Amino acid sequence: MFKIRAAVLREPRKLSIEEVKKPVIGEYDVLVRVRATALCGTDVDIYNGKGKARLPVIPGHESAGEVEEVGSKVTSVKPGERVVIDPTIACGQCFWCKKGLRNLCPNGGLMGREMNGTFAEYVSVPESNVYKLPDGISFEEATIVNTLATVLHSHRLVNVFPGDSIAVMGCGFTGLLHIQVAKLRGARPIIAITRSTWKLDLAGELGADVKLRSGYEDVVSRVKEITEGRGVDLAIETAGSAATLKECVELIRPGGKILAFGISDEKAGDLSLFPFYYKQLSIIGSRAMLPEDWNPSIQLIATRRIDVKPLITHKVSFEELQKAFDMFEDRNIKSIRIVVTQ
């Protein structure tokens, strides 16, 4: 039995690079030689024990690589081709899958959480979970396709129109992608809101029209001033915080929308429900992505309409994976996206 190297998480914060069995592919599967995997907040929550996972597990899920081998009935890709991996697995048979909502499948899961992920030399995935990469996208850049697909999916749910005013709460990795996508859709003004001055500067470079530093100025009053007293048409919450969600309710105009994009299990606390009635607000959640979000995301990066280079702030080798987790948790390090290369 062939062995490969993989990072194995056996219990929270106990990560080691080990030799494991090389994945075996079925007739509809693809074996991918992993070349790059980005580290995201979900991976870190699993590492810390905050996110539920089936341990032991090989973590990692935002990846790209080369096709090494294909099953006998695979027709869409062949060995040697460069691909990005969709890490969400769906059953294809349940009520939600049959309605075209495989992102809500209760029987599926996420690579690196319910099933082994991509912090390994090789990974086996269904043929339907790989998408070809144009030559113009590096493996490192391709690790961002996954998150961009989730952002595109959410924008389709809220239906942004040219001229819509948008406030983006939080200018981390996803917030910066939301700003760029909103810009492409013709939104104006786009108001970036966060505590970090260096993230605000980056938000301005990537398309934000107004930059507001939360905690240091009256954000709600400034938004009302910018929008002639109305409030914004859409507020996008990316921090996964009950406090920022409450702030979204305050700065949204009557009849406006809130996109609850940030992942959190926080309770809403003293959030009043009255504004949802009085201002006739809509709050929209968004989970993962659908197959139709992948190729548009790939093309947006390939054509440089979405600029991902400033978002990749650090690269480490597979042998330095532990260092990547440490860097992610270190608030003194200015990181947006850490990519592990192999």
- E strand segments, 150-209: 166-169, 190-194
Q: Encoding tokens for residue 152?
A: 């595109």
**Tens of pLDDT, residues 81-101:** 999 999 999 999 999 999 999
Backbone angles phi, psi at 43, to 5 degrees: -60, -45
- The model's pTM is 0.96
CATH class of 150-285: alpha beta
3-class DSSP assignment, residue 213: strand
**Tens of pLDDT, residues 198-242:** 999 999 999 999 999 999 999 999 999 999 999 999 999 999 888
pLDDT at position 268: 73
- Tell me which H or E stretch contains 39: strand 29-39
- Of the candidates 119, 149, 106, 193, the residue with the CA atom closest to the CA atom of residue 300: 149
**Tens of pLDDT, residues 60-69:** 999 999 999 9
Residue 22 has pLDDT above 90, yes or no: yes
Is residue 226 within 8 Å of residue 250, measured between CB atoms? no
Q: Where are the domains of the chain?
A: 3-144+308-341, 150-285
pLDDT at position 2: 85
CATH class of 3-144+308-341: alpha beta
State the Cα–Cα distance between residues 170 and 172, nearest whole angstrom.
6
- What is the pLDDT confidence band of residue 1, given thresholds at 50, 70 and 90? low
**Tens of pLDDT, residues 156-212:** 999 999 999 999 999 999 999 999 999 999 999 999 999 999 999 999 999 999 999
pLDDT at position 46: 94
- % pLDDT > 90, the chain: 92
- Of the candidates 108, 20, 100, 99, the residue with the CA atom closest to the CA atom of residue 56: 20
Residue 305 has pLDDT above 80, yes or no: yes
Residue 48 has pLDDT above 70, yes or no: yes
